[in-house]
């Protein structure tokens, strides 16, 4: 899995946490595979009670909901989720194709309704559309204020020389060794040695971990 510069796992753009509530193993597995291929993280639940517990412990971005479940039906799950204030998209995926079932689903707050058997591509397209819509209407997160750690602090904190501070800042900008050499007027090998020394002093094993150490919350 790729990682962000700060080392946190990076999910592909548009990736979401999706709760799949489905008691038929063959459907659950097919859904999990299909969604995982798109980079989504899938939580599975085979019973209504389990679905509600999972939604509480790991709030999903979207719910795919079967109506026929062994304990309570999907309508109960949907009603409970909405009553608790869950505002994410819910897509009902059911073998019930009667208009009355669909109307009941929408009345309880479903965002889409797909009838089994379903086409994987259509389902993925519908899920993407629901996620896009949900993201557009969600309030933007407040930007995290960060400031650059000053040179003196870097020297004191990591024992860097002035030259190494300059190298670290260029590495944080994403410079390769060749670019370091060019920017600092060094040979490639000298630049590479500096980069290695900087990483050793910062105790990081890859270049993308340098930038986060040069910034801190404002
Ligand atoms: Ca079922």
Q: How many helices (H) and strands (E) does the chain have?
A: 10, 7
Which tens digits make up the pLDDT trace of 121-162? 899 999 999 999 998 877 666 666 788 899 999 999 999 999
Written as six digits, the tokens of 23 are 């008691």
Instruction: Indicate which CATH number applies to the domain containing 201.
Output: 1.10.10.10
- Residue ending a domain, among 80, 113, 137, is 137
- Residue ending a domain, among 85, 120, 137, is 137
Domain count for the chain, please give it: 2
Neighbours of ion ligand 1 (CB under 5 A): 23, 66, 68
Q: How far is CA 96 from CA 90, 103, 134, 176, in A?
A: 16, 12, 26, 57
- Residue ending a domain, among 137, 164, 191, is 137
Q: Are residues 43 and 126 in the same domain?
A: yes
Alpha-carbon gap, residue 31 to 25, rounded angstroms: 10
> How many angstroms is it from 18 CA to the middle of ligand 1?
18
Which tens digits make up the pLDDT trace of 101-122? 899 999 999 999 999 988 888 9
Which tens digits make up the pLDDT trace of 32-60? 999 998 899 999 999 999 999 999 999 99
> How many angstroms is it from 66 CA to the middle of ligand 1?
6
pLDDT at 205 over 80: yes
Q: Which domain holds residue 12?
A: 2-137
Alpha-carbon gap, residue 112 to 102, rounded angstroms: 9
> How many angstroms is it from 111 CA to the middle of ligand 1?
19
pTM of full prediction above 0.75: no
């Amino acid at each position: 899995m790729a990682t962000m510069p700060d080392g946190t796992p990076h999910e592909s753009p548009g990736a979401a946490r999706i709760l799949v509530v489905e008691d038929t193993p063959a459907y659950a597995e097919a859904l999990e595979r299909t969604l995982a291929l798109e980079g989504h993280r899938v939580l599975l639940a085979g019973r209504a009670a389990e679905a509600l517990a999972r939604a509480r412990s790991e709030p999903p971005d979207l719910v795919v909901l079967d109506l026929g479940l062994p304990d309570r039906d999907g309508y109960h799950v949907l009603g409970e989720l909405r009553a608790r204030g869950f505002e994410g998209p819910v897509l009902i995926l059911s073998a019930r194709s009667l208009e009355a079932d669909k109307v009941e689903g929408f009345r309880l707050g479903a965002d889409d309704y797909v009838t089994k058997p379903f086409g994987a591509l259509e389902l993925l397209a519908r899920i993407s559309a629901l996620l896009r819509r949900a993201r557009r209407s969600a309030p933007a997160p407040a930007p995290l204020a960060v400031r650059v750690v000053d040179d003196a602090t870097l020297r004191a904190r990591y024992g860097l020389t002035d030259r190494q501070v300059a190298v670290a800042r260029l590495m944080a900008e994403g410079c390769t060794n060749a670019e370091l050499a060019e920017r600092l007027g060094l040979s490639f090998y000298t630049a590479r040695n500096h980069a290695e020394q900087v990483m050793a002093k910062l105790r990081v094993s890859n270049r993308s971990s340098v930038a986060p150490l040069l910034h801190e919350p404002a």
